Amino acid sequence: MHFDELGLAPELLRAVTEQGYTEPTPIQAQAIPIVLSGRDLMGGAQTGTGKTAAFTLPLLQRILPLANASPSPARHPVRVLMLAPTRELAIQVHESVRTYSKYVPLKSCCAYGGVDIKAQIAELRCGAEVLVATPGRLLDLVEQKCLNFSSVQALVLDEADRMLDMGFIPDVTRIINLLPKQRQSLLFSATFSEEIKKLADRMLASPLLIEVARRNTVSETITHLVHPVAVSAKRALLVKLLKSNDF
Ligand code: AMP
């Protein structure tokens, strides 16, 4: 299959081609048509599968008819909200959003904790159709009254299992309650515990389920090896292995 068979807009395909991608990954081939159709989705996929493009490309396309080059912030309300568990992942997802939206007049913004909030507030005040954020900082921004969610039409919860591990589900639930009920929701998780399924029940409406990796397994690019070793020799062994490149 080729990217141009997925029904994506030429401006998005141009950005994809520029990245050197010719074929969609399995999660992209499955998820893109579903997201384009407006359905909710529960995606079982790990990092490295191409899941970021699988949700970013079709969501950009869905809001593309509303793209405009107006300098007025009011013409650039938040339409897509992407939640990520960590600052690193939020930055990475935002990087992808910027890459894929290069040829469309859609603005994006990234908000995460651990840095001064003022610069993020200033950026948000200029307007952004796509907001990538960590849950805690997003709620801080809500408290500062610099966010209006009334135009949000899609929510993405990325790495939901890590959100759960990090104790973010109460924050995520608060955020979901602030969003319009009429919206598209996508949840991605590498594993599907009972708790994740419960969250999915609350968040998604008649979702389609796609899975590209076996449940509860680590990525196939990772190999596990066990070296039985005395505690006192751990560091020396690690140094030896790193130097030998043989692990
Ligand atoms: P992700 O799983 O979204 O973190 O993506 C993993 C990596 O795969 C990223 O570095 C992407 O740039 C790359 N990637 C995404 N889609 C494709 C594709 N269709 N072909 C080749 N590489 C891709």
Q: Please list the residues that pair with 157 across neighbouring strands.
A: 83, 187
In a domain, 238, yes or no: no
The minimum-distance atom of ligand 1 relative to the CA of 24 is 19
CATH of the domain at 51: 3.40.50.300
Question: For position 215, what pLDDT does the model report?
Answer: 46
pLDDT greater than 60 at residue 242: yes
Q: Quick one: DSSP state of residue 232?
A: G
The reply to whether 230 falls in a domain is: no
Q: In the predicted model, is pLDDT for residue 151 greater than 60?
A: yes
Instruction: Kindly state whether residue 157 falls inside one of the protein's structural domains.
Output: yes
14: left (phi over 0), alpha (psi -120 to 50) or beta: alpha
Q: Three-class SS of residue 234?
A: helix
Cα 86 to chain center, whole Å?
11
Region 5-24 average pLDDT: 95
- Residue 39 forms part of a structural domain: yes
pLDDT at 214: 56
Mean pLDDT of 160-189: 96
Residue 228 lies in a domain: no
In this prediction, residue 47 carries a pLDDT of: 86
Specify if 207 maps to a domain.
yes
Ligand 1 pocket by C-beta < 6 Å: which residues? 21, 23-25, 28, 47-53
**Best mutation site among 25, 94, 102, 158 for ligand 1 pocket (most ligand atoms within 8 Å of CB):** 25
Residue 225 placed within a domain:
no
Q: How far apart are CA 38 and CA 59, in angstroms?
A: 9
Residue 68 has phi, psi (to 5 degrees) of: -155, 160
Atom number of ligand 1 nearest to Cα 19: 12
- Is residue 45, in this structure, part of any structural domain at all? yes
Average pLDDT over residues 94-104: 98
Per-residue pLDDT tens over the stretch 189-221: 999 999 999 999 999 999 999 998 654 556 667
- Residue nearest atom 21 in ligand 1 by C-alpha distance: 21
Band of residue 80 on the pLDDT scale cut at 50, 70, 90: very high
Measured in angstroms, how far is the CA atom of residue 214 from the centroid of ligand 1?
19
Ligand 1 pocket: which of 32, 52, 96, 221 to mutate (most atoms within 8 A of CB): 52
Query: Considering its fold, how many domains does the chain have in total?
Result: 1
Mean pLDDT computed over every residue of the chain: 94
- Residue 28 Cα to ligand 1 midpoint, Å, equals 10
pLDDT at 77: 97
DSSP letter (8 states) at residue 116 = -
Residue range(s) defining the domain that contains residue 75 = 3-217
